[in-house]
């Protein structure tokens, strides 16, 4: 294959889909990971110039690692892993839900960290490999809502730093990409979504295409490894007492 390859987890829907399309438009071979959205993944793959689909339940870390190992054996220039898939379920700092916590930590932290380790250990690319872990502006703008989710993304940010420190190939890079409020989340109504997405320093709605453009930039590896790029119109520089979902609702 003459094209460099990128695996985007959770690429069948939402932000992952936009990132996958952006890479395809720039000439990459896109590996579309999906969990339960098989039909959407196959429809997306059919619209891209070079793509394939793969599946794994990211709540099962063994499946996640096996997926990466299998791809590493067949892709000759696998340059980028974008860990985008995540779960965003409600609990708060007054009452942790064990089910929500364990699911968030498995899918949002353990799976991407394990996949990054397998990717850096086995994938082949002469120009170096890039891991892009999609976190959240919440890692810098903490509030007590979505307690388990925020813990899982904060842990992923720490894992990004440690994975970068542990890399053995100086051409490799491990990055964080922290979006702000972009798409409707949880049970938001349309008017709440529009209000909440303006709750940032620039008072503007950040586009999913901006996140995709940042992922493409990081794929080139110009920044020092270990850096996290915030694409959130300055939301992470604020101190918000609650998630903007509830601020917009109140």
* pTM given for the model: 0.96
Q: Is the per-residue pLDDT at 145 higher than 80? A: yes
Q: What's residue 148's pLDDT?
A: 98
Q: What's residue 189's pLDDT?
A: 74
Domain boundaries defined on the chain: 5-249
Q: What angle do CA 190, 194, 200 make, to 5 degrees?
A: 150
37 alpha-carbon distance from chain centroid: 17
The band of 158, judged by pLDDT with boundaries at 50, 70 and 90, is very high
**CA separation for the pair 80, 131 (Å, rounded):** 6
On whether the CB atoms of residues 52 and 6 are closer than 8 A, the answer is no
Coil, strand or helix at 235: helix
Q: Tens digits of per-residue pLDDT, 178-230? A: 999 887 776 767 777 888 899 999 999 999 999 999 999 999 999 999 999 99
Query: DSSP state, 92?
Result: B
Select the more confidently predicted residue: 173 or 96.
Answer: 173
Q: What's residue 1's pLDDT?
A: 67
Q: Tens digits of per-residue pLDDT, 30-52? A: 999 999 999 999 999 999 999 99
* Contact residues for 17 (Cβ-Cβ < 8 A; gap 6+): 11, 40, 44
Q: Is the domain defined by 5-249 classed in CATH 3.40.50.720? A: yes
Coil, strand or helix at 84: coil
Only one residue has tokens 């860990």, namely 83
**CA separation for the pair 61, 69 (Å, rounded):** 12
Q: What's residue 170's pLDDT?
A: 94
Select the more confidently predicted residue: 144 or 189.
Answer: 144
Q: Tens digits of per-residue pLDDT, 81-134? A: 999 999 999 999 999 999 999 999 999 999 999 999 999 999 999 999 999 999
Please name which of 52, 118, 111 lies closest in space to residue 85, comparing C-alpha atoms.
111
Please name which of 156, 34, 151 lies closest in space to residue 102, comparing C-alpha atoms.
151
On whether the CB atoms of residues 30 and 10 are closer than 8 A, the answer is no
Q: Look up residue 70 and give its two tokens.
A: 């299998």
* Contact residues for 16 (Cβ-Cβ < 8 A; gap 6+): 8, 9, 10, 33, 82, 84, 85
Q: How far is CA 204 from CA 52, 182, 201, 211, in A?
A: 35, 10, 8, 15
Query: DSSP state, 224?
Result: P
């Amino acid at each position: 294959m003459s094209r460099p390859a990128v695996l985007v987890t959770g690429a069948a829907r939402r932000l992952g889909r936009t990132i996958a399309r952006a890479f395809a438009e720039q000439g990459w071979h896109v590996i579309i990971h999906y969990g339960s959205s098989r039909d959407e993944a196959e429809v997306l793959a059919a619209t891209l110039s070079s793509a394939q689909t793969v599946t794994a339940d990211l709540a099962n870390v063994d499946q996640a690692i096996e997926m990466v190992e299998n791809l590493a054996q067949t892709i000759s220039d696998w340059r980028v892993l974008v860990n985008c898939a995540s779960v965003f379920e409600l609990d708060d700092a007054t009452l942790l839900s064990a089910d929500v916590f364990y699911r968030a930590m498995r899918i949002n932290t353990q799976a991407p960290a394990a996949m990054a380790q397998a990717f850096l250990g086995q994938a082949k690319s002469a120009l170096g490999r890039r891991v892009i872990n999609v976190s959240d502006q919440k890692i810098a703008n903490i509030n007590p809502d979505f307690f388990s989710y925020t813990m899982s993304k904060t842990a992923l940010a720490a894992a990004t730093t440690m994975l970068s420190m542990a890399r053995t190939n100086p051409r490799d890079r491990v990055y964080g990409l922290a979006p702000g409020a972009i798409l409707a989340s949880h049970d938001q109504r349309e008017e709440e979504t529009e209000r909440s997405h303006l709750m940032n320093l620039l008072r503007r709605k950040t586009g999913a295409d901006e996140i995709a453009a940042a992922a493409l930039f990081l794929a080139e590896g110009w920044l020092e490894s270990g850096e996290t790029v915030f694409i959130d119109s300055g939301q992470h520089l604020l101190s918000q007492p609650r998630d903007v979902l509830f601020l917009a609702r109140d």
